[in-house]
């Protein structure tokens, strides 16, 4: 499974990338706005930190303007994945951008039927939002399971399932068991994966025992 970090915080991306945990980055207008920086400056910097896909979202809602914005975003760097909403206009823009050889991430997917349309439109990624479904008492992981099963039925579907709206480590484990291609994860959730109380307890014991020997490795 690939990990995309879901943030526009370049320092957090660098920290996680240094640990080999970043295969790509996803952003959205809200995440970029929180930085208080110029949109293009932030996206350009992120593209220098990782060679993996960097999702940058269009602001328009009509197909023609989405297409124009998507082409401009794609000029930032070769690893840009243009992010468009899962609407009829978004799918139309996706098809045109994909035909131009541009990666497209179709976002805000909430049903298997929508995911089929994204694949038909040539999306490189489809982003089903599990956390938002959980918020309305619907099992988000059932959606992931359905999409993975459908995509596996058709060799012509090359779209990767990018699990979005991750809220906790269990979402990641469940998505991996199902066979999703990517999880896009906020930095704090990604850090939580490494932590376990028994790991901390064991490390304390090892350090204490080593200190008793009075030795040094260096």
Instruction: Quote the pTM value.
Output: 0.93
Active-site position among 2, 83, 120, 192: 83
Residue 167 domain flag: yes
User: Is residue 78 within 8 Å of residue 67, measured between CB atoms?
Assistant: no
Domain that holds residue 35: 2-213
In a domain, 36, yes or no: yes
On whether residue 77 sits in a domain, the answer given is yes
Written as tens digits, the pLDDT of the chain (218 aa) is 999 999 999 999 999 999 999 999 999 989 999 999 999 999 999 999 999 999 999 999 999 999 999 999 999 999 999 999 999 999 999 999 999 999 999 999 999 999 999 999 999 999 999 999 999 999 999 999 999 999 999 999 999 999 999 999 999 999 999 999 999 999 999 999 989 999 999 999 999 999 999 999 99
Asked, for residue 113, whether it belongs to a domain, the answer is yes
**Domain count for the chain:** 1
Residues 6+ apart with CB under 8 A from 124: 53, 81, 98, 103, 104, 105, 158, 159, 160
CATH of the domain at 80: 3.20.20.70
Residue 184 lies in a domain: yes
Has 92 been annotated as catalytic? no
């Amino acid at each position: 499974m690939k990990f995309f970090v879901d943030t526009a915080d370049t320092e957090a991306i660098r920290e996680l990338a240094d640990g080999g945990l970043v295969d790509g980055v996803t952003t959205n207008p809200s995440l970029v706005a929180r930085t208080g920086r110029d949109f293009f400056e932030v996206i350009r910097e992120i593209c220098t930190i990782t060679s993996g896909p960097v999702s940058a979202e269009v602001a328009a809602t009509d197909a023609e303007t989405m297409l124009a914005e998507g082409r401009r975003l794609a000029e930032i760097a070769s690893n840009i994945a243009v992010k468009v909403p899962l609407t009829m206009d978004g799918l139309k823009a996706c098809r045109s951008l994909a035909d131009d050889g541009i990666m497209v991430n179709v976002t805000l997917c909430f049903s298997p039927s929508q995911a089929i349309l994204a694949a038909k439109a040539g999306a490189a990624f489809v982003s089903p939002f599990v956390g938002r479904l959980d918020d309305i008492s619907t099992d988000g992981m059932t959606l992931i399971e359905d999409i993975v099963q459908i995509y596996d039925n058709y060799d012509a579907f090359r779209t990767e399932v990018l699990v979005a709206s991750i809220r906790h480590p269990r979402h990641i484990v469940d998505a991996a068991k199902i066979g999703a291609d990517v999880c896009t994860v906020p930095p704090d959730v990604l850090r939580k994966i490494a932590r376990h109380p028994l790991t901390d307890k064991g490390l304390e014991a090892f350090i204490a025992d080593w200190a008793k020997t009075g030795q040094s490795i260096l």
